[in-house]
Amino acid sequence: MFKRAYTFDDVLLQPQFSNLTSRRHVDTSSELVAGLSLKTPIVASNMDTVCESDMAIRMAELGGIGIIHRYLSVEDQVAEVTRVKTHLNFILSNPYQIKLTESLDSAVDIMVEKNVSSLLVVDETETFCGILGLKDATYVAGALSRYQVADVMVGLTDVITTTPSVTKSEALDLMQNQRIGKLPVLNEAGKIYGLITRKTLNREELHLDATKDAKGRLAVGAAVGVTGDYLTRVKYLIRAGVDVVVLDIAHGHSIMSIKAIKAIKAEFDIPVIAGNVATAAGAKALADAGADGIKVGVGPGSICTTRIVTGHGVPQLTAIIEACSAVDVPVIADGGIRKSGDVVKALAAGASTVMLGSLLAGTDEAPGGVITRDGSRYKMIRGMASYGAALGRSKRAGDEVSEATPEGVEALIPYRGSVGEIITSIIGGVRSGFSYSGATCLAELWQTAEFVEISPAGLIESRHHDVKAL
């Protein structure tokens, strides 16, 4: 028995009458899960080439949210969540540090990798000793490996510091009067409590639409598995302030997922997003088990080969529609989105948010460095069921390398600059898409949206044609 199923390129939304005078009047806010609203209905995927703390911070600032991937040790994953939760504090916790006996070339490598202009220097007892600036390090004569950090750093006697009791206004006055850009915060023992910079003093006012928790901290999610240490991870992630937990399993309609949902919900008070599924039955099974959100998508991702390897999957638009028809909890459309119009179609089909992977992987905020090949710049992306990802899990999280056939690939993706530019462009298209359906918000889009099936010729007609694009 066969039934017809559709993906994004198989349909268009039929234009509707609109009372809108400007797309600025469109409200794109939506719920990720009950009680956690996003002004921008976009989630950064829990992939190790997409989302760690830098991406999660920027996504939350832009009104979305990021999900920290699980292929880290418990301690490292907690540290990534902590970085996000403390980002809006004017005192930056856990600033980058280096021992004074380290080589200068190691220090420069760290600053380049972390994209910072200085490091706080400590001795073997973790006592603060001074600051090493990138300019100081790069102006020395000869090879950097000949020097230690202690040879070049600005020593403690020449550094202005403060205490943890300092207020925001006091810190601002001190930095302005002393004409300094960084203010180390030391405890009574002379150890580093944190760091204040001009950026940390001003950043909260710059992001009025940021996704925040009840305490005013940036919101962030984290992924866990369904076996092994997942309950321990959830415990420590909650202590770090995580806002939502995402179960990371390729085939979510399984007894393992159901058991994991029930175990987490029985022990902890934390929203759980489960998946991935591609059917109404799968979505309902997870919702009945207690999931607060359902992630939909089996095989639509750009680097996923599940459908080729296993012969299973459902074209993404049909999967979204069927899942949404079966559950009352929010649905996250995960995979297959290449353009802003696909986001509009996914939302119109009933999804509350969309999860993006490859569209974000080439940005500055994604983990990993830029690779230059044949004069063009790229970043790496890989499916989390790829063999390379399995090796990474073995090294970083202690997982055994699976003997299963890989269901993803590793690839290079063009470097795209800042994720802010990507999200701004997508949301501009989404706002226009809402207006074409005569909708001012997501609830109205769900009511007014009408899909029409198109032929292959209709798809060709939809794209630019008969011209050479500049």
The Cα–Cα gap between 282 and 25 comes to 36
End-to-end CA distance of the chain: 47
> What would you report as the CA-atom Rg of the chain, rounded to the nearest whole angstrom?
24
The Cα–Cα gap between 146 and 105 comes to 9
Q: What angle do CA 153, 157, 163 make, to 5 degrees?
A: 105
What's the Cα-to-Cα distance from 222 to each of 12, 102, 202, rounded to whole Å? 34, 33, 27
List of residues 6+ apart from 393 with CB closer than 8 A: 71, 399, 401
Rounding to the nearest 10 degrees, give the CA dihedral for residues 281, 283, 289, 291: 180
The Cα–Cα gap between 355 and 223 comes to 13
DSSP secondary structure code for residue 406 in this structure:
P
Q: Strand pairing partners for 411? A: 381
Q: What angle do CA 372, 335, 227 make, to 5 degrees?
A: 100
The Cα–Cα gap between 153 and 118 comes to 10
Of 129, 304, 324, 441, the catalytic one is 304
The secondary structure of the chain in percent helix, strand, coil, rounded to multiples of 5, reads 40, 20, 40
DSSP, collapsed to helix, strand or coil, labels residue 87 as coil
Largest CA distance in the chain: 80
What's the Cα-to-Cα distance from 435 to each of 29, 179, 247, rounded to whole Å? 15, 49, 34
Q: Alpha helices, DSSP H only, in 241-382?
A: 255-267, 280-289, 306-310, 316-326, 340-348, 358-361
Instruction: Based on the residue annotation, tell me whether 304 is a catalytic residue of this protein.
Output: yes
What's the Cα-to-Cα distance from 120 to each of 30, 156, 186, 193, rounded to whole Å? 41, 10, 11, 11
Give the catalytic positions in this structure.
304
